[in-house]
């Protein structure tokens, strides 16, 4: 290119004038003229050729450059899971699906995309979504439809899958016990003949296209209640479509790029990926005035439940006063899909190699996440700790902003938690009310850095101790008599049904009816009265004005509390010493609140609401508030049922 | 007829040639302007007789970052050096127009700026705009050292350096991260395999050869050469700091391997001792820093850092080293004021000085003073009951920053030699019984203090 530089602008003119000048002089010298002409022609031809070459070269160079910079840009694009089956020319996929009591697998073109033969795990209906154009796996789920409500989750999921995707179903162990008609109808609408008649311990496999043809279905009936159906193996062929059915023309922007990346990789998030009016992935909630927690890091502890994480992050990012810059999602394991969800929302995510098993694994993950959080935000005094299966209330940060100074100033505090263990629909009433409790509820809480760095981190349970981190934190050696601040109405909602210590029954009994605040900007009242000494004054005042209930009645009966509103009532139960919770547990049971262990107590006092009245329960004589008991009143004693129920949280 | 024909052909060919040439020119211009405006800005530069390219590029860059609300500050050592000479004038007339282009026109390959990571929302928009403005840019990322110390976290990669190039000038943007210990850190600049090694002359960069540690600077908004920039309030202080800012990361991987071999002591005593040692070290660092006395981790504390990135729980004291030239008489009263009474003082300023302070619950703080010779450095020891003197020899070393128990402290850069001199080649094996008179491999007998000096050189409280 260099040698051409001197030429460009001048050459043609010079040539022309040279030609004109010499034309007449050399008119008669024919031979010379001819030579010149030939020379000029040759020269011009060379110019043309070189020019063409140059243009081609430049174009190629520019193209390469473009490609290179594009690569820089979309570095991650290249990491997108390459379809395991290069399908450029292939039109047909061989699909094998196996269903049995102890093992399921799915193979696509000879590659195993699902294999689960772990014992006591993966029960229920496994669902795999394939891209109908490329054949690569877009989502993998298992719904334990042996347990309640899992079928609802499955319906939700299936509804979110785009039309045209290929769906593969297979049952491991049992998948019909809590598969209700709604779910069966959805399966039927996908083309399954057998689904409506699926019953106890049947084996079943099904491959079909959403809203389209059925590629195959196999079913083995269980002969008797005590035995399982024979294993079934379905082999079928799936025809790929040439063009990706969904190709939304989103304008090229950062947000849409994130969305595009996400939607090209995963499935099952419904309208996030629809072309028309996709669900927003940026929320811009109102900022908080005088937000004291704007610079407090938020650690989201996650595992491999991407749909949960998606729901959780949506609610978190919609909460007023949220600062996305401070959020880090810690994923326990190298799972891709949760990371995709994190990136969809433009947050930062960190993956953690699982250490140890079960409870200890969770506990090690917590430790790593907390340490990392304080490393990443070295000047933070606190960290907000959330889990992936929580909904976050719209005023979550407002609640923390109003109360966090207590954690800084009051040494007798252990944490601030968004969760009230006893705050059920029928026992919580006042969004502006806070309590002090001796237990650590977790489920959305604030941890003080000094507590973590000086006390907890150095002696955190090691991987070989199979302890629950939260149980460990509740132990007296750690808690050292300190208390947590909680709201009457929880600022988080625990929606997780699948989990290490969680299943549908358990969730229905203890979490489903939990009250969750939906009112924005609640002004908390009497925050200052939550300090150690002020709180005692407050309790004494409350007990002073409380009306003593009729202790001859049965406290479990509704009529025990008069049909009033806004009154304060007190009842006294027997509590021989500090750790005697016999009567309380029975009372909690019949009030349908948390009864698996003791939560929400403060010096032998429980505070909750009944029929919109503040309802205080004092344990006599262990509680220091026993002095408030009129001498005429005999504390109520409730006997535990003869046979112990072995339920443990 | 033939003549006309030929002429026509000739004319036609000339015309095509012209068209092609014009097309080529257009293409050339189009292609180049997309990359950068090299040709054109060069022309402008040569016209004015000075290297105003640099000034233009810097101005463009400042425009770019202010349009994205990114606060950067100038850390270019050459410019700061010039600025420092005129600092009074610049401070007094923050808005005055400058008569000549004095700082940003010296022809250099680079101008260096710093960016505080936490003030920046990582947005892609910046780079799109940069490209539109004709910048080429390069991002250098690497592992996040703040997560390096942790088992099994997939440290996300973080941006450490950016280079924005236009024409013949490049802006080097160094990303500073806040780390535990209340200091700023920047990473090393390491090119990955596929990167363009000739993008800029990397060797000439002022930052990036090593990672560095800095205090958080106070900034000052000034106008120099008609450009508004933030600079460190005290440029000479910053340059001083820069000259020995090299940072060493703890050897986390080796530490993990060590703990695999020798599991960590998690007993209550160990936890308690570590907590106390940490707070003693924090207190000592605060006291010495306030006095302006440079110190480093020595002996067991240094070994703990180097071998296991933590306090050795059975070491029972905290050891610091100080060059005797940095000795100040205020040290003892300052520690006493901080609640650490003097426990003993051995030796004298001229020879083998050693101070011990009593921390909380039997945790002791030892400060050894180091004497520099031509080919080695040594510190002394004294046996109280016999008056015997000992000498501990070390190869010469320089000081580097590191992070230890949430504190930015010095360690010898040549840590391995230092530790090996002290503990021998088997320093990797924990030893619970240690005699300071015989165990160190670098100890030498150094005679006996004259008895008449004992009152002075052996003081026990």
Residues 6+ apart with CB under 8 A from B405: B277, B278, B281, B282, B310, B311
| Residue A390 to residue A299: CA distance in whole angstroms | 13
Residues 6+ apart with CB under 8 A from A111: A84, A85
- pLDDT above 50 (res A195): yes
Contacts for B339-342: CB closer than 8 Å, 24+ residues apart: B339/B283, B340/B280, B340/B283, B340/B284, B340/B287, B340/B365, B341/B461, B342/B459, B342/B461
| Yes or no, beta carbons of B10 and A459 under 8 Å apart | no
| Yes or no, beta carbons of A7 and B17 under 8 Å apart | no
A459: closest chain B residue by CA: B266
- How far is A73 from chain B, CA to nearest CA, in Å? 9
- pLDDT above 70 (res A393): yes
* Candidate from A299-313, A451-465, B91-105, B277-291 with smallest mean pLDDT: B91-105
Burial A273-307, CB ≥16 within 10 A → b, else e: beeeebeebeeeeeebeebbbeebbbbbbbbbbbb
Whether A430 is a known active-site residue: answer no
Q: What was the pLDDT predicted at A524?
A: 94
Q: What was the pLDDT predicted at A616?
A: 95
Q: Which residues of A touch B275 (CB under 8 A)?
A: 454, 458
- pLDDT above 90 (res A249): no
Q: Which residues of A touch B35 (CB under 8 A)?
A: 65
Q: What was the pLDDT predicted at B80?
A: 92
Rounded to whole angstroms, the maximal C-alpha distance in chain A is 144
Q: Choose among B197, B139, B200: nearest CA to B173.
A: B139
| Residue A509 to residue A497: CA distance in whole angstroms | 11
- How far is B51 from chain A, CA to nearest CA, in Å? 24
Query: Which of B121, B150, B275 shows the shortest C-beta gap to A368?
Result: B150
Tell me the pLDDT tens digit for each residue of A142-189. 888 888 888 888 888 887 777 888 999 999 999 998 898 888 988 988
| Yes or no, beta carbons of B21 and A52 under 8 Å apart | no
B263: closest chain A residue by CA: A462
Q: Which two tokens stand for residue B424?
A: 């021998």
Pairing of strands A327-332, A298-302: parallel
Most B CBs within 10 Å, among A376, A377, A450, A457, to test the B interface: A376
Domain boundaries, chain B: 53-245, 252-460
| Yes or no, beta carbons of B180 and A374 under 8 Å apart | yes
Residue A270 and residue A311 in contact, taking contact as beta carbons nearer than 8 Å:
no
| Yes or no, beta carbons of A350 and B35 under 8 Å apart | no
Mean pLDDT of chain A: 84
| Residue B106 to residue A548: CA distance in whole angstroms | 87
Banded pLDDT at A259 (limits 50, 70, 90): confident
Q: Which residues of A touch B274 (CB under 8 A)?
A: 458
Read off the pLDDT of each residue in A189-195 and give the average, rounded to a whole number.
89
Q: What was the pLDDT predicted at A17?
A: 66
- Point out the catalytic residue in the list A389, A395, A410, A595: A389
* Candidate from A14-18, A47-51, A542-546, B348-352 with smallest mean pLDDT: A14-18
Q: Which residues of A touch B165 (CB under 8 A)?
A: none
Q: What was the pLDDT predicted at B398?
A: 94
Residues 6+ apart with CB under 8 A from B457: B346, B347, B348, B352, B382, B449
Which residues are paired to A108 by β-bridges?
A95, A111
User: Tokens 């280079």 belong to which residue?
Assistant: B163
B152: closest chain A residue by CA: A353
Q: What was the pLDDT predicted at A547?
A: 94
Q: Which residues of B touch A61 (CB under 8 A)?
A: 31
Peptide bond into A621 cis (omega under 30): yes
B101 backbone dihedrals φ, ψ, rounded to 5°: -85, 105
| Residue A99 to residue A96: CA distance in whole angstroms | 10
| Residue A623 to residue A575: CA distance in whole angstroms | 8
| Yes or no, beta carbons of A9 and B25 under 8 Å apart | yes
Q: What was the pLDDT predicted at B4?
A: 63
How many CB atoms sit inside 10 A of residue A447's CB?
21
Between A382 and B148, the higher pLDDT residue: A382
HEC assignment per residue over A457-485? HHHCCCCCCCCCHHHHHHCHHHHCCCEEE
> What's the predicted TM-score (pTM) here?
0.73
Q: What is the three-class DSSP state of A456? A: helix
Domain boundaries, chain A: 92-239, 298-527, 531-628
Pairing of strands A382-387, A445-448: antiparallel
- Point out the catalytic residue in the list A421, A468, A470, A595: A470
| Residue A198 to residue A221: CA distance in whole angstroms | 8
Banded pLDDT at A270 (limits 50, 70, 90): confident
User: Tokens 């944490």 belong to which residue?
Assistant: A415
Q: What is the three-class DSSP state of A22? A: helix
| Yes or no, beta carbons of B151 and A355 under 8 Å apart | yes
Residues 6+ apart with CB under 8 A from A138: A129, A130, A131, A165, A265, A266, A267, A268
- pLDDT above 90 (res A79): no
Q: What is the three-class DSSP state of A233? A: strand
| Yes or no, beta carbons of A368 and B153 under 8 Å apart | yes
Range among A112-126, A241-255, A416-430 rated most confident:
A416-430
HEC assignment per residue over A549-591? CCCCCCCCCHHHCCCCCCCEEEEEEEECCCCCCHHHHHHHHHC
- pLDDT above 80 (res A57): no
| Residue A118 to residue A122: CA distance in whole angstroms | 7
- How far is A393 from chain B, CA to nearest CA, in Å? 25
Q: Work out how many CB contacts closer than 8 A connect A with B.
A: 117
| Yes or no, beta carbons of A254 and B124 under 8 Å apart | yes
Q: What was the pLDDT predicted at A244?
A: 47
User: Tokens 């509740």 belong to which residue?
Assistant: A474
A615 backbone dihedrals φ, ψ, rounded to 5°: -130, 115
Most A CBs within 10 Å, among B134, B150, B213, to test the A interface: B150
* Fold adopted by B53-245: Beta Polymerase; domain 2 (3.30.460)
Q: Which residues of A touch B182 (CB under 8 A)?
A: 378-379
Residue A506, Cβ density class (10 Å: 0-12 exposed, 13-18 middle, ≥19 buried): middle
Q: What is the DSSP letter of A100?
A: B
Between B435 and A206, the higher pLDDT residue: A206
Query: Which of B14, B20, B147 shows the shortest C-beta gap to A372?
Result: B147
Q: Choose among B86, B79, B30: nearest CA to B58.
A: B79
Q: What is the three-class DSSP state of A642? A: coil
Q: What is the three-class DSSP state of A52? A: helix
Distances (CA, A) of B416 to B29, B257, B260, B302, B308: 57, 17, 21, 10, 13
HEC assignment per residue over chain B? CHHHHHHHHHHHHHHHHHHHHHHHHHHHHHHHHHHCCHHHHHHHHHHHCCCHHHHHHHHHHHHHHHHCCCCEEECCHHHHHHHHHCHHHHHHCCCCCCCCCCCCCCCCCEEEEEEEHHHCCCCCHHHHHHHHCCCEEEEEEEECHHHCCCCCEECCEEEEEEEEEECCEEEEEEEEEEECCCEEEECCCCCCCCCCCCCCCHHHCCCCCCCEEECCCCEEEEEECCEEEEEECCHHHHHHHHHCCEECCCCHHHHHHHHHHCCCCCCHHHHHHHHHHHHHHHHHHHHHHHHCCCCEECHHHHHHHHHHCCCCCCCCEEEEEEEHHHCCCCHHHHHHHCCCCEEEEEEECCEEEEEEEECHHHCEEEEEEEEECCCEEEEEEECCCCCEEEEEEEECCCEEEEEECCEEEEEECCHHHHHHHHHCCCCCCCCCCCCCCCCCCCEEEEEECCHHHHHHHEEEC
| Yes or no, beta carbons of B21 and A11 under 8 Å apart | yes
Rounded to whole angstroms, the maximal C-alpha distance in chain B is 127
Give the containing element (helix H, strand E) for A261.
helix A254-265
Residues 6+ apart with CB under 8 A from A321: A285, A286, A287, A288, A291, A293, A294, A397, A398, A401
| Yes or no, beta carbons of A51 and B147 under 8 Å apart | no
**pLDDT tens, N- to C-terminus, chain B (461 residues):** 555 677 787 788 778 878 877 877 776 666 555 444 333 333 333 334 456 788 889 999 999 988 888 889 999 999 999 888 888 888 777 666 666 778 888 888 889 999 998 888 766 678 888 888 889 999 998 888 888 777 677 767 889 999 999 888 999 999 999 998 899 999 999 888 788 888 888 888 999 999 999 999 999 998 888 888 999 999 999 999 999 999 999 998 899 889 889 988 878 888 889 999 999 999 999 999 999 999 999 999 999 999 999 999 888 899 999 999 999 999 999 999 999 999 999 999 999 999 999 988 889 999 999 999 999 999 999 998 889 999 999 999 999 999 999 999 999 999 999 999 999 999 999 988 888 888 888 998 998 999 888 888 889 88
| Residue A190 to residue A193: CA distance in whole angstroms | 9
Query: Which of A48, A351, A374 shows the shortest C-beta gap to B17?
Result: A48
Most A CBs within 10 Å, among B3, B14, B145, to test the A interface: B14
Q: What was the pLDDT predicted at B402?
A: 96
Residue A141 and residue A173 in contact, taking contact as beta carbons nearer than 8 Å:
no
Q: Which residues of B touch A453 (CB under 8 A)?
A: 406
Q: What was the pLDDT predicted at B47?
A: 38
Residue B37 and residue B134 in contact, taking contact as beta carbons nearer than 8 Å:
yes
| Residue A421 to residue A440: CA distance in whole angstroms | 9
| Yes or no, beta carbons of B28 and A58 under 8 Å apart | yes
- pLDDT above 80 (res A317): yes
Q: Which residues of A touch B151 (CB under 8 A)?
A: 353, 355, 368
Q: What was the pLDDT predicted at A282?
A: 81
- How far is A219 from chain B, CA to nearest CA, in Å? 43
pLDDT > 90: percent of chain A: 50
CA gyration radius for chain B? 30
Q: Which CATH superfamily, name and number, covers A298-527?
A: Spore Coat Polysaccharide Biosynthesis Protein SpsA; Chain A (3.90.550.10)
Q: Choose among A179, A225, A161, A173: nearest CA to A204.
A: A173
Residue A171 and residue A104 in contact, taking contact as beta carbons nearer than 8 Å:
yes
Whether A595 is a known active-site residue: answer no
- pLDDT above 70 (res A265): yes
| Yes or no, beta carbons of A51 and B25 under 8 Å apart | no
């Amino acid at each position: 290119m260099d040698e051409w530089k001197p030429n460009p602008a001048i050459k043609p003119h010079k040539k022309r004038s040279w030609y004109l000048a010499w034309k007449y002089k050399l008119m008669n010298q024919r031979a010379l003229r001819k030579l010149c002409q030939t020379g000029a022609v040759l020269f011009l031809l060379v110019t043309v050729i070189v020019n063409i070459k140059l243009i081609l070269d430049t174009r190629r160079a520019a193209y390469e450059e473009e490609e290179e910079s594009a690569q820089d840009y979309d570095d991650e694009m290249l990491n997108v899971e390459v379809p395991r089956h290069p399908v450029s020319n292939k039109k047909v996929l061989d699909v094998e699906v196996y269903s049995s009591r102890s093992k399921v697998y799915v193979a696509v073109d000879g590659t195993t995309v699902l294999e689960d033969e772990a014992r006591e795990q993966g029960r229920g209906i496994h669902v795999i979504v394939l891209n109908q154009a490329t054949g690569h796996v877009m989502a993998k789920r298992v719904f334990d439809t042996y347990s309640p409500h899992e079928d609802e989750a499955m319906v939700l999921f299936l509804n979110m899958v785009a039309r045209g995707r290929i769906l593969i179903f297979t049952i491991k162990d049992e998948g019909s016990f809590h598969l209700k008609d709604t779910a069966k109808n959805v399966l039927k609408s996908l083309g399954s003949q057998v689904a409506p008649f699926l019953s106890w311990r049947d084996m079943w496999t099904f491959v079909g296209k959403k809203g389209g043809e059925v590629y195959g279905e196999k079913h083995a009936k269980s002969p008797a209640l005590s035995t399982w159906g024979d294993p079934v193996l379905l082999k079928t062929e799936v025809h790929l479509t040439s063009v990706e059915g969904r190709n939304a023309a989103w304008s090229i922007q950062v947000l849409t790029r994130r969305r595009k990346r996400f939607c090209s990789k995963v499935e099952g998030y419904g309208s996030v990926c629809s072309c028309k009016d996709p669900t927003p992935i940026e929320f811009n909630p109102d900022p908080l005035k005088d937000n004291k927690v704007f610079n407090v890091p938020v650690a989201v502890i996650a595992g491999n439940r991407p749909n949960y994480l998606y729901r959780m992050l949506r609610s978190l990012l919609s909460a007023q006063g949220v600062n996305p810059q401070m959020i880090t999602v810690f994923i326990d394991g190298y799972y891709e899909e949760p990371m995709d969800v994190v990136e969809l929302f433009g947050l930062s995510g960190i993956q953690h190699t699982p250490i140890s098993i079960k409870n200890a694994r969770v506990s090690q993950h917590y430790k790593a996440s907390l340490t990392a959080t304080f490393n990443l935000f070295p000047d933070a005094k606190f960290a907000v700790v959330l889990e992936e299966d929580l909904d976050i209330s719209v005023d979550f940060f407002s609640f923390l902003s109003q109360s966090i100074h207590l954690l800084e100033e009051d040494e007798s505090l252990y944490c601030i938690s968004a969760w009230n263990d006893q705050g059920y629909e029928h026992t919580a009433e006042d969004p502006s009310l806070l309590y002090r409790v001796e237990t650590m509820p977790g489920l959305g809480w604030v941890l003080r850095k000094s507590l973590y760095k000086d006390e907890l981190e150095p002696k955190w349970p090691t991987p070989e101790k199979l302890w629950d981190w939260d149980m460990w934190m509740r132990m007296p050696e750690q808690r050292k008599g300190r208390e947590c601040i909680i709201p009457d109405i929880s600022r988080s909602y625990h929606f997780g049904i699948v989990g290490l210590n969680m299943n549908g029954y358990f969730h229905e009994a203890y979490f489903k009816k939990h009250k969750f605040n939906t009112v924005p900007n609640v002004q908390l009242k009497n925050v200052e009265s939550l300090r150690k000494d002020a709180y005692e004054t407050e309790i004494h005042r409350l007990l002073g004005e409380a009306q003593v209930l009729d202790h001859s009645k049965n406290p479990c009966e509704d009529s025990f509390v008069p049909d009033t509103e806004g009154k304060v009532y007190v009842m006294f139960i027997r509590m021989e010493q500090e750790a005697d919770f016999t009567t309380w547990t029975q009372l909690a049971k019949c009030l349908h609140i948390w009864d698996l262990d003791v939560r929400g107590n403060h010096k032998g006092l429980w505070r909750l609401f009944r029929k919109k009245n503040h309802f205080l329960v004092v344990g006599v004589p262990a509680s220091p508030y026993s002095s408030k008991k009129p001498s005429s009143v005999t504390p109520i004693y409730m006997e535990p049922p003869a046979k112990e129920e072995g339920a443990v949280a | 007829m033939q003549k006309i024909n030929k002429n026509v052909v000739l004319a036609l060919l000339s015309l095509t040639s012209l068209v092609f040439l014009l097309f080529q020119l257009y293409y050339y211009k189009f292609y180049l302007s997309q990359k950068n405006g090299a040709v054109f800005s060069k022309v402008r530069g040569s016209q004015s007789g000075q290297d105003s390219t640099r000034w233009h590029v810097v101005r463009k860059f400042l425009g770019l970052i202010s349009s994205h609300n990114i606060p950067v500050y100038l850390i270019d050592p050459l410019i700061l050096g010039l600025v420092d000479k005129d600092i009074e004038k610049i401070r007094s007339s923050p808005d005055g127009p400058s008569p000549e282009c004095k700082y940003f026109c010296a022809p250099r390959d680079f101008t260096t700026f710093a960016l505080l990571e936490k003030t920046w929302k990582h947005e892609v928009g910046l780079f799109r705009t940069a490209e539109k403005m004709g910048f080429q840019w390069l991002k250098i990322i690497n592992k996040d050292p703040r997560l390096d110390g942790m088992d099994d976290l997939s440290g996300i990669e973080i941006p450490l350096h950016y280079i924005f190039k236009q024409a013949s000038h490049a802006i080097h943007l160094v990303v500073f991260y806040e780390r535990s210990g209340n200091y700023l850190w920047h990473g090393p600049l390491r090119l990955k395999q596929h990167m363009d090694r000739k993008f800029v002359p990397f060797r000439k960069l002022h930052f990036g050869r090593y990672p560095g540690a800095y205090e958080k600077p106070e900034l000052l908004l000034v106008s120099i050469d008609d450009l508004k920039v933030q600079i460190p309030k005290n440029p000479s202080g910053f340059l001083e700091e820069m000259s020995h800012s090299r940072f060493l990361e703890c050897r986390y991987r080796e530490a993990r391997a060590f703990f695999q071999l020798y599991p960590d002591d998690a007993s209550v005593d160990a936890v308690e001792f570590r907590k106390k040692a940490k707070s003693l070290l924090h207190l000592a660092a605060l006291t010495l820093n306030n006095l302006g006395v440079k110190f480093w981790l020595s002996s067991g504390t240094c070994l703990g850092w180097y071998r296991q990135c933590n306090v050795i729980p059975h070491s029972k004291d905290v050891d610091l080293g100080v060059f005797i030239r940095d000795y100040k008489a205020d040290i003892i009263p300052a520690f006493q004021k901080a609640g650490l009474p003097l426990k003993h003082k051995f030796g004298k300023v001229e020879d083998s000085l050693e101070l011990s302070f009593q921390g909380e619950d039997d945790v002791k703080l030892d400060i050894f003073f180091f004497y520099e010779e031509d080919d080695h450095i040594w510190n002394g020891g004294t046996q109280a009951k016999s008056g015997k003197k000992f000498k501990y020899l070390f190869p010469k070393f320089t000081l580097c920053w590191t992070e230890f128990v949430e504190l930015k402290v010095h360690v010898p850069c040549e840590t391995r030699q230092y530790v090996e001199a002290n503990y021998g080649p088997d320093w990797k094996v924990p030893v619970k019984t240690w005699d300071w008179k015989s165990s160190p491999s670098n100890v030498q007998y150094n005679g006996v203090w004259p008895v008449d000096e004992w009152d002075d050189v052996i003081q026990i409280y």
